[in-house]
Chains A and B, each alone.
Chain A
């Protein structure tokens, strides 16, 4: 597997080159987007609402035209190609199954508009319905199906004509949690068995982490980071990504010096720690330190081993979560500092108790100030 980085043109099925989009001519919804998507890849566009991820998807589908830049699909520029000629399957947020057609007719729609012979249509529809295990509901109408069933039909309809690319716009947003998790696995399996290329839009980070080969984190019209899920979580390149993906503890401070990729940071509330210098401007500038809750230990004897950052802390609260527990601490002025503990370990902590915490410099990333 390649790491997230530049992909050569030959491998890329979709290429966004310097794409910009504005609706009002004043501010850009998408700012200078360069993004390559490989064939057979499952790429998720993740970000809060208004970050430009849906606009990006709509430009790829052909429902929005880029204000600037070009999009290539299989090396062909498609900026001015109407959506129905792009050969891209799409699954919509609310399924958009045609209410006046049966399930069978819905799935057959992309085939019949392509004037495929009747016998072949029938065969393909049957195998598509078998794939989603809804053969017995072929003659029902969408209104008579549950949300999950409708979602599967929408999937079958988007896949039945073997498009070179499948787009999904928050397809699981309307389902309840249990069904959503089930469908995540089902879509992932379909992706793997059929070898299709998927561009998936969601604002749900756990969905993105579960399903994707790579995730592009959008904020403010810019791709903040595009990487594999584990890299995104372990090695965020800026504060936005660190905060958006998973739980994160932030400590504000000022860089004192930088040496061999590490820097010493004086915390605003006093004390200093050593962190990886990832996204810092230089000595004397402000920074935000990022530490994941599971990378921190509570030092009961108060003595930190050599090379470990140690900070005094005060217990605010403990939360029992079944498979693990969380301690909410006050550390260097941050009253919501989370530490993940093994189950049962929270029993020894009480409100107001003074402890000290420790974490390795490798697990602490100095990022841009928030």
Chain B
């Protein structure tokens, strides 16, 4: 009866069932969308927009193009094998005169100085000494007379390399790479090649902090999950208390505790265990201690929530089936905490690789992480291109991790017996 009715309705209406379903669902979907719209807009303007802007800045190369437009045009066909001809010199002389009048020479010379150290001096001197436009045909001689550097291929290659509109210069720089005169990608000069080290250090510290958090947090989470509610709530407050305290306050507290005249050193000396104060801060040790302390709740909470959902009946079942406590833990309990371990580790690791204030306050010069350099280039030298490029590399690394984690968790779910 019902089947016949449905079939009849299907045949009579021309609109296919799928379309009708979609139409029926559309209003509901629009309503849902309207509800999340404010958040969506907020994220767009405060999060996605700035990230897109940052990514754009890491490849955008506008300064030389804007200040020296004719030179850029004249160099378009330059093969880079020799010093360019008279037209390029004439265009450069015209551009520099215009730029001097407009007061924009510094913009271009700052960018050119990244590519070739000393370019700022060349530009400034040339702009100062080029009183009038050189006569046609004499531009090359005039400029070389002002500064012999104009007669060198490297000078012109720097302009050509910075002529935009897009550049890989900053991204290569963030990975300690650069282009040589012939445009091939080579390792950057040793005194400039620091970022791989810094990235390596950032990941080492973050990995170490994650491992420490896991080792310290696992037993705490286990205790929280197995204690009676009253006691576990009290303990949970102790876990959360630092969580609610300002990061800056906690970091400074560690300075007080760990410094040469601090509590730890004073106590050890009073006990007669040491004569000289131990160096506990402004080094890697201090960074590990302070960051682990700050990030521990981010490990404990996901672990706790995954452990809380594991019924004590599982361990009892394992014991009744003949598993010793160690076997039961390894084969029954631990595998069920894997999602929590994964979530906690990912959270701590991703937060750790972005750490800035804590290493800046309790670390030494060799313990500064990538964020420190991003901040340095953003606020100190205003080299936004390089700052953006470093940020982009960090973002990419973080995304890669998130994808790997997603794959792992997905795999876990497939073998983890979740309902599909």
Contact = CB atoms under 8 A, between A and B. Distances in A.
The reply to whether chain A is a binding partner of chain B is yes
Interface in A56-111: 61-63, 82-84, 86-90, 92-94, 96-102, 109-110
A92 B319 contact: no
A96 B313 contact: yes
Given A96-B311, A96-B314, A98-B332, A89 B416 contact: no
Given A96-B314, A96-B316, A84 B322 contact: yes
B321 interface: yes
Interface in B282-327: 311, 313-314, 316-325, 327
A84 B323 contact: yes
A27 interface: no
Given A89-B320, A101-B417, A113 B314 contact: no
Chain A residues touching B, range: 20 to 34
Given A92-B317, A96-B317, A99-B417, A113 B335 contact: no
B336 interface: yes
A243 B316 CA distance: 35
Contacts of B336: 98-100
A114 interface: yes
Contacts of B311: 94, 96
Contact of A100 (B316, B318, B328, B415): B415
Contacts of B420: 144
B419 interface: yes
B418 interface: yes
Given A84-B320, A89-B321, A143 B313 contact: no
Contacts of A144: 417, 419-420
A83 B419 contact: no
A142 interface: yes
Chain B residues touching A, range: 20 to 34
A9 B411 CA distance: 54
Nearest to A98: B332
A99 B416 CA distance: 7
Interface string A154-179: 00011001000001000000000000
With most chain B CB atoms within 10 A of its CB, the pick from A98, A101, A157 is A98
Main secondary structure of the interface of B (DSSP, over half): helix
Contact of A113 (B316, B321, B418, B419): B321
With most chain A CB atoms within 10 A of its CB, the pick from B317, B328, B416, B418 is B317
Interface in B327-343: 327-328, 331-332, 335-336, 338
B414 to A, nearest CB: 9
A124 interface: no
A141 interface: yes
Contact of A157 (B313, B316, B321, B419): B321
Contact of B327 (A88, A89, A113, A157): A113
Interface string B378-392: 000000000000000
Contacts of B327: 113
A366 B416 CA distance: 59
Contacts of B317: 90, 92, 96-98
Given A84-B324, A96-B314, A143 B419 contact: yes
A115 B314 CA distance: 20
A143 B320 contact: no
Interface string B115-157: 0000000000000000000000000000000000000000000
Given A98-B332, A101-B417, A141-B417, A113 B313 contact: no
A143 B417 contact: yes
B313 A92 contact: yes
Interface string B399-420: 0000000000000000111111
B323 A109 contact: yes
17 contacts: A61-B320, A62-B320, A84-B318, A84-B320, A89-B320, A90-B316, A92-B313, A96-B313, A96-B317, A99-B336, A100-B416, A109-B321, A109-B331, A114-B322, A141-B415, A143-B418, A144-B417
Interface of B: 311, 313-314, 316-325, 327-328, 331-332, 335-336, 338, 415-420
Closest 10 CB pairs of A and B: A141-B417, A96-B317, A110-B321, A90-B320, A96-B313, A83-B319, A113-B323, A143-B417, A100-B335, A84-B319
Given A84-B320, A109-B318, 9 more contacts: A63-B316, A82-B319, A84-B319, A92-B313, A99-B336, A100-B415, A102-B417, A109-B331, A110-B322
